[in-house]
Amino acid sequence: MATADKVGQEVGKVLAKACITKDMLEQDPCHLPRLKSSDFTKGLVVELRKAHGVSSMHLAMQLKYLAPLELVADIEKCNEKSLQNKANSVWEEYQKLSKNAKKHVMADFLKAEFQLPKPRSATKACKLCKRKFDEEEQRESETNMAEKRRADDAEPITVQEPKKAKSDGTTQDDPHWATPLSSFQDFEMIKILNDHPKNKSVFVHGKFKGHEEEAVVILEKTPFSEETLPIALSGETKLKVGLKNDIYGNYHGTPPAQVNGIKVSVVYPATHKHLVKYSQQETYLVQETEDDYKNITLPFLEAEAFRIQWVYNILEHKTESERIVYEDPDKETGFILLPDMKWDLKQVNDLYLIGIVHKHGIRSLRDLAAEHLPLLHNILKKGQQAIQEKFDIPPCKLRIYLHYQPSYYHLHVHFTHLNFDAPGSGVERAHLLTDVIEHLEMMTDYYSKKTLSFCLRENDQLLAEFRKAGRVLEKSV
Ligand code: M7G
């Protein structure tokens, strides 16, 4: 609640000054009209950032959506490295609060009397923010110093550092696909890879005109949320009658854009493995013994595993740092807890977070032994605590598990809401963290010895390897 209080006070003050109404907060800010300049003084955002540190920066970003265009330009020029990234996350920050916390924010907001904040040094109420701000400033200045040192140390003839080639053939210099998309203009659909009418999602293979790289796009209709229902059930939703018979009616409804969003995930450039992963295929259950792992799986995944650069980016705070829900930085037992790519953070009943361990070299469940128990206990306990604090969800409403096989071979734990039928939470793939802990407590080499079952798909190369070794039960014996 302490966090919600803090957010409440800050949001309240700033929003009141910016003349942002309760209604506006309940809508997706991208759809709102911008405020008039006079409502919003130039420099306010910067002042707030100085005064309150990181959490005000989040606020600033929310305001960015509402602010007059010239101020937006100003915010963008702020020269704060992480400012742009945070911009995209600020709305999520507010959305992530529990219903109660949101009410809190609102209450503070409605009764707020605006006062320009005192200078940072005089701010007592925001010690935490100030500390974060100081740390961030220090980190930035260290990075700048390091960059400067590198430049100073460079051979005089080297004007620029040589561009490093990445494994996908592009260079470090901003490949075209590094820019976030703003629409699907120029997208050319090649094929529907898979279609899930039940989940209301579709997986599409395509390309962008003029570019060679392939893309996988996943479109998914999102669940309704209590907060947006009043908009969906208002005069703004147009209804076209399909059938009316006595007391029964069917309609085709067209709700306003802000409650009509879909979740869009894009893998671009997508590799052949991604296309296989997202394609519809027959699946087969295999039982992997200790020997199968050593002779078939391990050599295969050493050669073939998915790139895990995205994991290192998260662990090194290069990407998604503003989305981190909790971090324990300990090198042995620490981890980062953050929203899974699959969760849009719009509602907690499909909550999906992942805890990624700081320690390198633990590929999967198979590598776990009793020596990892402190790490696993820590993830379980601190993960539960963080989710309770942040989202008001108790441990008894969480499904906490590891996948075997995972797609990415750097140990991570899935945290999903019990009410959510998350993909991959079935018995052939999910292993409850509490069970894993207990098994290791009983027997340290449990997971290197145990025969583990999992599904493989028709086009999966690993299935071919199991078939080659005669290890797929195609007929009953
Ligand atoms: P997994 O068990 O290795 O494979 O889980 P799965 O994807 O087949 O389930 C990896 C988890 O990481 C999945 O739940 C992914 O949705 C999630 N994930 C994958 N990527 C590339 C990202 C990412 O870039 N950011 C975040 N936050 N989550 C990701």
Q: What is the DSSP string of 185-250?
A: TTEEEEEEEEEETTTTEEEEEEEETT---EEEEEEEEPPP-TTTHHHHTSTTSEEEEEEEETTEEE
Average of pLDDT values for 386-412?
96
Average of pLDDT values for 140-148?
42
Of 76-85, 348-357, 391-400, 415-424, the range with the lowest mean pLDDT is: 76-85
Of 172-186, 331-345, 456-470, the range with the lowest mean pLDDT is: 172-186
Reported as type and span, the H/E element at residue 398 is strand 398-403
Using a 6 Å CB cutoff, which residues line ligand 1? 310, 320, 338-342, 354, 403, 406-408, 424
pLDDT band at 125 (very low <50, low <70, confident <90, very high): very low
DSSP states of 138-194 as a string?
HHHHHHHHHHHHHHHHS-TT-SSPPPPBPTTS-BSS--GGGSPPS--TTEEEEEEEE
Selecting among 58, 205, 412, 431, the annotated active-site residue is 412
Mutate to test the pocket of ligand 1, among 341, 357, 365, 457 (most ligand atoms within 8 A of CB): 341
Q: How far apart are CA 34 and CA 69, in angstroms?
A: 8
Environment class of 467 (CB within 10 Å of its CB; exposed 0-12, middle 13-18, buried 19+): middle
Mutate to test the pocket of ligand 1, among 408, 409, 417, 462 (most ligand atoms within 8 A of CB): 408
Cα–ligand 1 centroid distance for 443 (angstroms) = 29
pLDDT band at 107 (very low <50, low <70, confident <90, very high): low
Q: What pLDDT does 277 receive?
A: 86
Report the atom number in ligand 1 closest to the C-alpha of 403.
2
**Is the pLDDT confidence value at 180 over 90?**
no
**Of all protein residues, whose CA lies closest to atom 12 belonging to ligand 1?**
340
Cα–ligand 1 centroid distance for 63 (angstroms) = 30
Q: How far apart are CA 365 and CA 430, in angstroms?
A: 11
Q: What pLDDT does 150 receive?
A: 37
Average of pLDDT values for 197-204?
90
Q: What pLDDT does 276 receive?
A: 85
User: pLDDT per residue over 253-294, tens digit each?
Assistant: 999 888 888 989 999 999 888 898 899 889 999 999 999 999
pTM: 0.63
Cα–ligand 1 centroid distance for 273 (angstroms) = 14
**Is the pLDDT confidence value at 151 over 50?**
no
Say whether the peptide bond before residue 255 is cis (omega within 30 degrees of 0): no
Contact 445, 261 (CB under 8 A): no
More confident residue, 292 or 124: 292
Mutate to test the pocket of ligand 1, among 283, 310, 313 (most ligand atoms within 8 A of CB): 310
Average of pLDDT values for 357-376?
97
205 is an active site residue: no
User: pLDDT per residue over 315-355, tens digit each?
Assistant: 999 999 999 999 999 999 999 999 999 888 878 888 999 99
Average of pLDDT values for 404-427?
95
**Of all protein residues, whose CA lies closest to atom 23 belonging to ligand 1?**
341
Q: How far apart are CA 472 and CA 459, in angstroms?
A: 14
Q: What pLDDT does 92 receive?
A: 55
**Of all protein residues, whose CA lies closest to atom 20 belonging to ligand 1?**
341
pLDDT band at 422 (very low <50, low <70, confident <90, very high): very high
**Of all protein residues, whose CA lies closest to atom 22 belonging to ligand 1?**
341
Cα–ligand 1 centroid distance for 163 (angstroms) = 29
51 three-state secondary structure: helix
DSSP states of 125-151 as a string?
TTHHHHHHHHHHHHHHHHHHHHHHHHH
**Is the pLDDT confidence value at 37 over 70?**
no
Report the atom number in ligand 1 closest to the C-alpha of 424.
9
Cα–ligand 1 centroid distance for 341 (angstroms) = 6
The most confident of 109-123, 136-150, 402-416, by mean pLDDT: 402-416
Q: What pLDDT does 474 receive?
A: 86
Average of pLDDT values for 450-466?
94
Q: What pLDDT does 353 receive?
A: 98
Cα–ligand 1 centroid distance for 61 (angstroms) = 26
DSSP state of 85: H
Report the atom number in ligand 1 closest to the C-alpha of 306.
3
More confident residue, 75 or 300: 300
Q: What pLDDT does 255 receive?
A: 92
pLDDT band at 60 (very low <50, low <70, confident <90, very high): low
Nearest to 75 by CA among 91, 52, 58, 53: 58
Q: What pLDDT does 207 receive?
A: 96
